[in-house]
Structure formats: C-alpha cells, structure tokens
Amino acid sequence: MLSKLLKYEWKATARFFLPIYGLLFAMAVASRISWLFSEVDNVWNRVLEITLLMGYIFMFGGVFVATFLVIAYRFYKNMFTDEGYLTFTLPVSVGNLLTSKLIIAFIWSVFSTIIAVFSIVILMLGYVQFDTIFQQLGMVWDELVRAMAEYAPHSWLILTEGILLVILALIASILRIFASFAVGQLTGKHKVLLAIGAYFGFGVVEQFFGLTVLMITPYLNYREVFPDAYGIVTGEIVLLVLLIVQLVVTAIYGVVTWVLMKRNVNLQ
C-alpha cells in the first residue's frame, strides 16, 4: 500500500513542481539569450537583459519557496481539510501516510536543489569553461583523497558524518512542517495561523537547544575517554554530537506528528 501512496503523492505534487521547474529553465534560457545581444549598445537591450535576469533571480529563489509551500499545502490539504475524511478512511496506517509524504517531500527538495544548480549552468554557458572546471575539480579531489589517506585517515568519518547531518537536517525540516500542522489542527478555527505559530515556536526551541549543546560541547572532558584525541578527532566528536542532536530533534518532530495524527485529529 505504501507504493500506491507514493505513486499518488508523486503525481499530485508533480503538477505543481514541473511547471515551476519549466519556468526556471525558461527564464535561464531567455536570460542567457539576452546576453548574446549585450554587445549591442541599445537601451532597450539593456532593459530587457536586466528584466530577464531579475526574473531569473526571482524564479531561482521562488523554486525553494515554492518547494516549502507545496510540501506544506499538500500535507495540510490532504490531512486536515475535507480530504482528510477520505484520507483517514483508507486501509493504511498513519505511519504509512507520514512516510509517503516524507519520502516524496524529501525527493522534491533534493530535485529542487539540483534543478536550481543546473539552471545556473545554463545561464553561464559560454561564459565559463565547465570542462576545465571539472578537470580542475577532479585534480583537487584526487589530491584531497591522497592527503586524507596520508595525513588524516579519520577525515572520511567526518565527511560521512557531515553528509548524514545534512540529510537528517532536511528530514527534520520537513517533519517540522508536518508537526506544525499537526499542532495547528488541534483547534477548530485558525488552524493555519496556529500552525505558523507552532512552526516558528519549534524553530526557536530548536535553535535554543542546538546553541546550548554547542556551548556545552567544548567543555566536555572527552580527552579522558579519547586520550589521544587531536584536531581531526575533535571534529569527529563535535559532528557526532551534532548528529545525535539532529537525530533527537528529527525523532521528536516525527513522534509529535504521529501521536497527534493517531489520537487527536480534528477535521472540523
């Protein structure tokens, strides 16, 4: 049943995202074409060039804003409006509903980042020698791998922890949206307003918690446990602490959402 939920959610969200991505690419191509005529000293060419570039910048930022809004809109509309009556009559668990929403939201968030980066490539075609850049990046990567193996064998652990931290942070940001609406729907009126308040409230608590941990971490006497710890090992420990904190935050958002949707759904 989870696969059917994923398929349905993918189709329902694609109709929002694909036009947005298309507009971003169209603005990137149009802006790039306008640059071909930049040598023509004409005021209208300049106006068109600036207008198209501003339109591209607006769409570039709009992709990320739209990603956030579509994720929030789909979750709220599908769960806590009239559609919720149909959603909660499906023979699926709340866990499967949340998992399908989370997976699709995660995929679109990653896609939005990739599409945004690719639009920059389109915009810079002809101005930047990408083959040279890729060649230089390859050389830097090879040298980095050699240096890491020779001088900092633990650095791969830091890289792995960093990647996991980014992934968890993205998952937590999505679950924070879900948890906010799960709290917001507890009231019969002003659900969206309360959800917005809950979202910023969660953010304040999360920032306070994170800063507190960061302030405490330097005072932890980890050298008693790791007597040979030095710079790289210290970095591993700090990242591990951040990873644990992010995992706890992610779990809290997930549990809050699941419990409220399981026991306290208000569709009025």
pLDDT score recorded for residue 131: 64
In the chain, what is the greatest distance between 2 CA atoms, to the nearest angstrom? 71
Q: Which residue has the tokens 């008693």?
A: 224
Amino acid identity at 228: D
Q: What is the mean pLDDT of residues 54-65?
A: 91
Cβ neighbourhood burial of 119 (10 Å; 0-12, 13-18, 19+): buried
Helix (H, G, I), strand (E, B) or coil at 128: strand
E strands within the chain? none
pLDDT score recorded for residue 223: 53
Per-domain boundaries in the chain:
1-128, 139-268
* Confidence bin at 171 (pLDDT 50/70/90): very high
Q: What would the pLDDT profile of 137-170 be if each residue is shown by its tens digit?
A: 777 776 666 666 665 556 677 778 888 999 999 9
Q: What would the pLDDT profile of 207-254 be if each residue is shown by its tens digit?
A: 888 787 777 766 555 555 555 555 555 666 777 888 888 899 999 999
DSSP string, 169-219: HHHHHHHHHHHHHHHHTTSSS-HHHHHHHHHHHHHHHHHHHHHHHHHHGGG
Which has the closest alpha carbon to 207: 179, 249, 174? 249
Q: What would the pLDDT profile of 96-151 be if each residue is shown by its tens digit?
A: 889 999 999 999 999 999 999 888 888 877 665 656 666 777 777 766 666 666 65
Q: What is the mean pLDDT of residues 15-26?
A: 92
Helix (H, G, I), strand (E, B) or coil at 223: helix
Return the percentage of the chain with pLDDT > 90, whole number. 28
